[in-house]
């Protein structure tokens, strides 16, 4: 591993995703966390489809899918109904996978399991989270950040001074990095709308693990029970304006009395509580995602109601957005101003997310709206999150002045620069790259991917040459995509990493390419976002000018 250039403060999911992104790009970092041991608990238990795509690009997705639970069926019960009398509302209709969206459903996986998987992948790069290590202060300089840390070893505190090129705070709602930067953390605290959340084991009795069980409603009294990936362990959330939250969170017997009262089930013998918290909703976000050589991501930058399951997922996308940019700048391949786009791209997304989750929270705590509150809508899969308004994307196909929602690309709208790059399957690679049959097989955080859709070899050659020249040493993967039926003589004369024949027409369809209109090039950024859609050499040059030195 190369010497550490980045200090990541906080070893939760956001910090680990950032660390793994940097590690895959060959950038050295240290990850510190003040806790003495890794935290137990399922906190933030839902990984949405877009986060799972990020994990696919990082090589961790299959591990998450194997460990987690998917396709849980919601059941809603009246208070005291026992195990009968429920309805199965269509509150989270299943979305079948498509050629463009191969991962269409969330997976339920606890934060403890997810972070364990991420740590195991980081360890392959020689990176381990340094526990009992706390950031005390940091000072920014023109070419580095000077930090002071303290570490507890054998019960004694030891101080360490070190220098890094950059520092990123993924250290939660009480972030030392955010406070050190003096960023505002505007918002509100929703007093009286607490939730007692945690994990509990079932010693005897049966709760159907294929469903998640919702008793009552949050506006009066509610208990949600869901099986975790660990046998016999269930996560729970208990809410209601008349509950004594402090007592429930500190007195096991009172908690179990509430369980019996709300569910009407006396047939369950509850065991050990894995963890428990009296959670008070805070809805806050920073005014900026960083300044100079210091940045914040995840809960250090935004906190909100858990309604909608967006917190951990938003942190994941924060980290992936920042990671590739930081890697290029640290390696001297991109201008420092590229890092400004992290704030410009993520700030409007998070502002929109807070509005969505706050609306869901209010609905859930309004009497009679329980089913409506659980009907989350498709935008929470985060597949529609886009950066169409970003100053670093270039689109010669769509007018730049088109208004857009940063959280959800308009359904049915033309694919634009700044959108999530779709997958496509049924590809045949004529360049001898065995096993490459889909676009998600070539996208990666380590490089830009230039897709050239064409029937004309000369046009493709001009675009590829322009991309190579404009990239100025940036890692590039190039792919020429020919429509099905193209003559083999063209396939044999292309200087590209991949020469793909779109046998099913899926790539042309998913990228809305009009083959009769000539050659179209799509640049896919390392974070799986469309950076440019161009048909000219000038357009290709303009995109890379926003990035390179």
Taken in order 174, 175, 181, 183, is the CA torsion positive or negative? Answer: negative
Look at residues 280, 295, 325 and tell me which one is the last residue of a structural domain. 280
pLDDT at residue 90 is higher than 80? no
Residue 32 lies in a domain: yes
Same domain, 228 and 268: yes
pLDDT tens column, 375-429: 656 688 999 999 999 999 999 998 655 556 899 887 778 999 999 999 999 999 9
Confirm whether 386 is domain-assigned: no
* pLDDT for residue 481: 96
Q: Is the pLDDT of residue 470 over 70?
A: yes
Are residues 428 and 539 located together in one domain of the fold? yes
Do 88 and 28 sit in the same domain of this protein?
no
Of the candidates 518, 530, 507, which has an alpha carbon nearest to the alpha carbon of residue 425?
Answer: 507
Q: Which pLDDT does position 92 carry in this prediction?
A: 64
**Strand-strand pairing, 233-239 and 195-204:** antiparallel
H/E element holding 63?
A: helix 61-67
Whichever domain contains 249, its CATH number is 3.30.9.10
- What average pLDDT score do residues 281-287 get? 93
- Domain ranges, residue 530: 394-545
pLDDT tens figures, 214-241: 999 988 999 999 999 988 999 999 999 9
**How confident is the model at residue 403, as a pLDDT?**
53
State pLDDT tens for residues 362-385: 777 777 666 665 665 668 899 999
- The mean pLDDT value for 80-109 works out to 88
Task: Decide which of 316 and 95 is more confident.
Answer: 316
- pLDDT of residue 290 exceeding 60, the answer is yes
- Count of domains in the chain? 3
Sheet with 185-189, edge to edge strand ranges:
185-189, 282-286, 302-303
312 within some domain = yes
Burial 10-19, CB ≥16 within 10 A → b, else e: bbbbbbbbbb
Inform me whether the pLDDT recorded for 117 exceeds 90: yes
Is the same domain home to 45 and 137? yes
pLDDT band at 488 (very low <50, low <70, confident <90, very high): confident
216 and 110 within one domain: no
Last residue in a domain, options 348, 381, 414? 381
Whether 337 and 447 share a structural domain? no
Predicted pLDDT of residue 373: 56
97 with 241, same domain?
A: yes
Question: Which residues, other chains included, contact 332 with Cβ-Cβ below 8 Å and sequence gap of 6+?
Answer: 549
Greater confidence (55 vs 94) lies with 55
Q: How many CB atoms lie within 10 A of CB 95?
A: 14
CB atoms within 10 A of CB 368: 10
Q: Where does the pLDDT of residue 434 fall: very low under 50, low under 70, confident under 90, or very high at 90 and above? A: confident
And the tokens for 161?
């001074």
Q: The CATH number of the domain where 62 resides is what? A: 3.50.50.60
What's the pLDDT score for residue 392? 97
**Residues 61 and 95 occupy one common structural domain:** no
The Cα-based distances of 145 to 2, 30, 325, 330, 386 in angstroms read 18, 14, 18, 13, 31
Q: What is the pLDDT of residue 364?
A: 77
Residues near 512 by beta carbon (within 8 Å), at least 6 away in sequence: 414, 415
In 3D, which of 444, 421, 340, 400 has the Cα closest to residue 24? 444
- Each residue's pLDDT tens digit, 53-68: 999 999 999 999 999 9
Confidence of residue 360 (pLDDT cuts 50, 70, 90): confident
Grouping H, G, I as helix, E, B as strand and the rest as coil, residue 6 is strand
* Whether residues 234 and 290 fall in one domain: no
Q: Are 138 and 413 in contact (CB under 8 A)?
A: no
Domain boundary residue among 350, 381, 412? 381
Structure tokens at 108: 């339920």
Provide the 3-class DSSP secondary structure of residue 323. Answer: helix
Q: Given this model, what pLDDT does residue 517 score?
A: 84
HEC secondary structure over 339-374: HHHHHHHHHHHHHHHHHHHHHHHHHHCCCCCHHHHH
Res. 291: pLDDT tops 80? yes
- Is position 290 within any domain? yes
DSSP secondary structure string for all residues of 199-237: EEEEEES---TTEEEEEEETTTEEEEEEE-SSTTEEEEE
Residue 354 lies in a domain: yes
Is residue 43 domain-resident? yes
What CATH number should be reported for the domain holding residue 525? Answer: 3.40.30.10
Domain assignment of residue 440, yes or no: yes
Q: Is residue 527 in some structural domain?
A: yes
Helix axes 13-24, 111-123, angle to 10 degrees: 20
% of the chain exceeding 70 in pLDDT? 96
- For 66-75, 118-127, 159-168, 198-207, which range has the lowest pLDDT when averaged over its residues? 66-75
Mean pLDDT (the chain) is 92
Confidence (pLDDT) at 370:
62
| Reported confidence tier of residue 489, pLDDT bands at 50, 70, 90 | confident
Mean pLDDT of 493-519: 92
Residues 43 and 82 in one domain: no
Considering the domain architecture, whether residues 250 and 168 belong to the same structural domain is answered as no
Tokens of 167: 């520092």
Residues 499 and 534 in one domain: yes
Q: Which two tokens stand for residue 35?
A: 């806790």
Residue 149 has pLDDT above 70, yes or no: yes
């Amino acid at each position: 591993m190369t010497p550490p250039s980045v200090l990541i403060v906080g070893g939760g999911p956001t910090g680990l995703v950032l660390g793994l992104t940097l590690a895959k790009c060959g950038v050295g970092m240290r990850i510190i966390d003040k806790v003495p041991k890794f935290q137990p608990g399922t906190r933030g238990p839902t990984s949405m489809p877009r986060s799972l795509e990020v994990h696919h690009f990082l090589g961790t997705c299959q591990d998450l899918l194997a460990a987690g639970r998917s396709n849980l069926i919601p059941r809603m019960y009246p208070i005291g109904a026992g195990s009968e009398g429920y309805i199965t509302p269509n509150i989270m209709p299943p979305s079948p996978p498509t050629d463009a969206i191969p991962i269409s459903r969330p997976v339920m996986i606890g934060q403890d399991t997810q972070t364990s998987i991420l740590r195991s992948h980081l360890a392959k790069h020689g990176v381990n989270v340094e526990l009992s290590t706390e950031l005390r202060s940091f000072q920014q300089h023109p070419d580095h950040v000077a930090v002071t840390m303290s570490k507890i070893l054998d019960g004694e505190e030891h101080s360490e001074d070190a220098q890094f090129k950059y520092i990123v705070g993924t250290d939660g709602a009480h972030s030392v990095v955010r406070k050190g930067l003096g960023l505002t953390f505007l918002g509100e605290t929703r007093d009286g709308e607490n939730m007692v959340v945690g994990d509990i084991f079932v010693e005897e009795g049966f709760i159907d693990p294929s469903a998640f069980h919702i008793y009552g409603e949050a506006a009066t009294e509610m208990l949600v029970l869901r099986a975790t990936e660990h046998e016999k362990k269930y996560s729970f959330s208990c809410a209601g304006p008349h509950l004594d939250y402090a007592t429930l969170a500190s007195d096991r017997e009172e908690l179990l009395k509430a369980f019996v009262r709300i569910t009407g089930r006396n047939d369950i013998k509850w065991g050990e509580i894995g963890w428990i918290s009296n959670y008070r909703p805070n809805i806050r976000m920073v005014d900026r995602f960083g300044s100079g050589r210091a940045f914040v991501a995840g809960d250090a930058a935004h906190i909100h109601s858990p309604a909608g399951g967006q917190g951990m997922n938003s942190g994941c996308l924060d980290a992936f957005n920042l990671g590739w940019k930081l890697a290029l700048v640290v390696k001297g391949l991109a201008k420092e101003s590229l890092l400004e786009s992290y704030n410009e791209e993520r700030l409007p997304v998070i502002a929109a997310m807070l509005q969505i989750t706050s609306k869901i929270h209010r609905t859930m705590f309004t009497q009679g709206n329980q089913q409506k509150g659980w009907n989350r809508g498709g935008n929470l899969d985060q597949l529609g999150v886009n950066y169409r308004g970003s100053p670093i994307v270039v689109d010669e196909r769509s007018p730049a002045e088109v208004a857009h929602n940063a959280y959800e690309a308009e359904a049915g709208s033309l694919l634009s620069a700044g959108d999530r790059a779709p997958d496509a399957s049924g590809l045949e690679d004529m360049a001898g790259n065995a096993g490459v049959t889909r676009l998600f097989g070539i996208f990666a955080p380590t490089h830009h991917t230039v897709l050239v859709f064409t029937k004309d070899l000369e046009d493709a050659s001009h675009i590829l040459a322009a991309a190579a020249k404009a990239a100025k040493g940036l890692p590039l993967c190039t792919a020429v995509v020919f429509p099905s039926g193209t003559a083999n003589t063209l396939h044999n004369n292309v200087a590209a990493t991949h020469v793909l024949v779109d046998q099913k027409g899926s790539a042309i369809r998913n990228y809305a390419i009009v083959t009769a209109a000539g050659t179209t090039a799509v640049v896919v950024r390392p974070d799986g976002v469309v950076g440019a859609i161009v048909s000219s050499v000038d357009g290709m040059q303009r995109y890379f000018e926003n990035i390179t030195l």
